[in-house]
Amino acid sequence: MSFHPKMAYGATFHKSSRALEDEGPAFVYTPENRARFDEIVKRYPPDRRRSAVLPALYLAQYQQGYITANAIRHVAELLGITRADVEDVVSFYTMFYTRPMGTFVLQVCRTLSCAINGAECVTEALVEKLGITPGETDPTGTFTLLEVECLGACDRAPVVMVNDAWHESLKPEDAGTLIDDLRARGDAALSGCHHVVERKS
């Protein structure tokens, strides 16, 4: 039935045009990740499983590259909280990605100590080299460029974080070399780039 005198039900107005969010591919933890999850949950009191939401989301992100609605559902079910609780957390913390990212996520620190040591020029060099602006992923899906706030290694400025590895004291003229190196050697280019103890000239 219709409540409109001239229009049939479902013809125009009554149809929702709201697009449903993409739920992503089906998601469950791999057996290894499930085992690690079970291990992590034990760190918190039994009635406080929710505390494990950040580590649980990291496991999902390492497994799939980013967090989807299906991953949120899986984490929520395992922790016994609602999907909204998990989504609340995902949308707050910047280190969770809700869209596919490049193989290498380049995060250039843009805050004061890095900026006054040339971080803006590093970003500029990366923009020119990759042909993308901060926030974008290149068409091949290899690199995502991001500008982030203070990474906490201001004595080795400017700092660029590539996935979980830190590249420190990176000069703008070396930014191109870093990209070439990543293209040529892949993950191998990510080891040995962290100074460990601060540089002394």
Partner 1 sequence: MDPILTKYVREPNSFTLDFYLQHAGYDALKLALTKKPDEIIEMVKASGLRGRGGAGFPTGMKWQFVDKKIEPRYIACNADESEPGTFKDHLLMERNPHLLIEGCAIGCYAIGAKVAYIYIRGEFIHVQHVLERAIDEAYARGFLGKNILGSGFDCDVYVHRGAGAYEAGEETALLESLEGKRAQPRNKPPFPALVGLYNKPTAVNNVETLCNVPLIVSKGPEWYAALGPEKNGGPKLYCVSGHVKRPGVYEASMKITLRELIEGHAGGVRDGHTLKAVIPGGSSVPILLPDQLDTQASFDGIQKAGSLLGSAAIVVLDETTCMVWLAENLLHFYRHESCGKCTPCREGTDWLHQILHRIERGEGQMQDIDLLQSVAGNIAGKTLCAFGDAAATPVLTTLKHFRHEYEAHVKEGKCTLPAPWRARHPVGAH
Contact residues for partner 1, defined by CB under 8 A: 43, 45, 48, 50-55, 57-58, 79, 81, 85, 88-89, 92-96, 110-113, 115-118, 120-121, 123-124, 127, 133-135, 147-157, 161, 164-166, 194, 196-201
> Nearest to residue 40, comparing CAs of 27, 56, 29?
56
Nearest approach, Cβ of residue 158 and partner 1 (Å):
9
CB of 184 to partner 1, least distance (A): 23
Closer to partner 1 by Cβ: residue 19 or 196: 196
| Structure tokens, 14 | 């009554």
Least gap, CB of 148 to partner 1 (angstroms): 8
Residue 14 or 99: the one with the smaller Cβ distance to partner 1 is 99
Give the integer Cα–Cα distance in Å for 189 and 159. 16
- For 76, half-sphere exposure in the C-beta direction (CA atoms, 13 angstrom radius) is 17
Nearer to partner 1 by C-beta: 26 or 187? 187
* Shortest Å, Cβ 73 to partner 1: 16
Nearer of residues 4 and 42 to partner 1, judged by Cβ: 42
Dihedral, CA of residue 32, residue 33, residue 35 and residue 37, to nearest 10: 170
Compute the chain's Rg from CA coordinates: 22
Question: Which H or E element spans position 176?
Answer: helix 172-185
